[in-house]
Chains A and B, each alone.
Chain A
Amino acid sequence: MASADKPINTDVPEKDVFTLHFLQSLSNLRRQNTFNSPEKTNDRVKKIKKAAYVSMARAAGGTNRLWSRALLRRAAKENSKVVRFPRRKKRVTCLRRRRSNRRDPVEEEEAERLRNLVPGGGGMETSKLMEETAHYIKCLSMQVKVMQCLVDGLAPK
């Protein structure tokens, strides 16, 4: 057989890593008086939702994944913070060689839909997109579990 392909790793961290990051985000929000102030419910919900996605991206490995980089970059842009990422050896983001003709058009159509759902998907080649998607899905469902646990813990008995 030809040289074996390197197995693609889509492992995600344990649940407590996600929990820890999310709780840290929440306590930051509390320090900013998000939960006490009489501000509109919608703003509060939006902040919590953003905390969920940002903490998930951090827990999942921050800048090691294309989707989490894109997510964090977008969040920082919303805060108009200066985005400073450590220099990576490989220039991953500038290559827009993504229109892969190797797969049939039906799959490419679905892949296009997927690109709109996965952060940073727009710049990814189809094969890379699928790898990022698998990781993204695992992290998303982990984040959902964490939030559900929290809701269950906080709900009045």
Chain B
Amino acid sequence: KMSGRRSRSRQSSGISEDQINDLIIKLQQLLPELRNSRRSDKVSASRVLQETCNYIRNLHREVDDLSERLSELLANTDTAQAALIRSLLTQ
């Protein structure tokens, strides 16, 4: 069961409880790990947050790896320049 009925606390940020639950669902749909879970499996909010952290860490790692790859590939500028233009045109 997700967060049960809580007393309406002061909305200091202007975001309601319903909107938070919507955001949790939205986050869940963005996460590859949890995206395909069936409707009947209610994923807890803290599980979503946990998977979100994992996902962000993975994405950061991918940026690291791809930066290294790009550094290698761009080191040779002659071929890189031609290839960059090529890839621009074939997006």
Contacts and interface: CB of A to CB of B under 8 A. Distances in A.
Interface of A: 5, 8, 10, 16, 19, 23, 26, 30, 35-36, 41, 44-45, 48-49, 52-53, 97, 100-104, 106-107, 109-111, 113-114, 117-118, 125-128, 130-131, 133-134, 136-138, 140-141, 143-144, 147-155
B50 A110 contact: yes
A50 to B, nearest CB: 9
Interface of B: 3, 6, 9, 12-13, 15-20, 22-24, 26-27, 30, 45-46, 49-50, 52-53, 55-57, 59-60, 62-64, 66-71, 73-75, 77, 80, 83-84, 86-88, 90-91
Given A48-B71, A151-B70, 11 more contacts: A19-B91, A26-B70, A49-B63, A49-B67, A53-B63, A106-B46, A130-B23, A133-B52, A137-B30, A144-B62, A150-B70
Contact of A117 (B3, B53, B91): B53
A151 B66 CA distance: 7
A122 to B, nearest CB: 15
Nearest to A51: B67
B23 A8 contact: yes
Contacts of A53: 63
* Residue of A30, A41, A109, A144 most packed against chain B (CB within 10 A): A144
17 contacts: A5-B18, A30-B74, A35-B77, A107-B46, A107-B49, A110-B53, A117-B57, A118-B56, A127-B15, A130-B20, A131-B23, A137-B30, A144-B59, A147-B67, A150-B84, A151-B69, A155-B73
Interface centre among B59, B70, B91 (most CB of A within 10 A): B70
B23 A35 contact: no
A44 B56 CA distance: 24
Which of A10, A143, A151 has most chain B Cβ within 10 Å?
A151
Given A125-B12, A138-B30, A103 B3 contact: yes
A152 B52 CA distance: 27
Contacts of B59: 137, 140-141, 144
A143 B59 CA distance: 9
A153 B90 contact: yes
Given A141-B59, A150-B87, A134 B27 contact: yes
Contacts of B15: 8, 127-128, 131
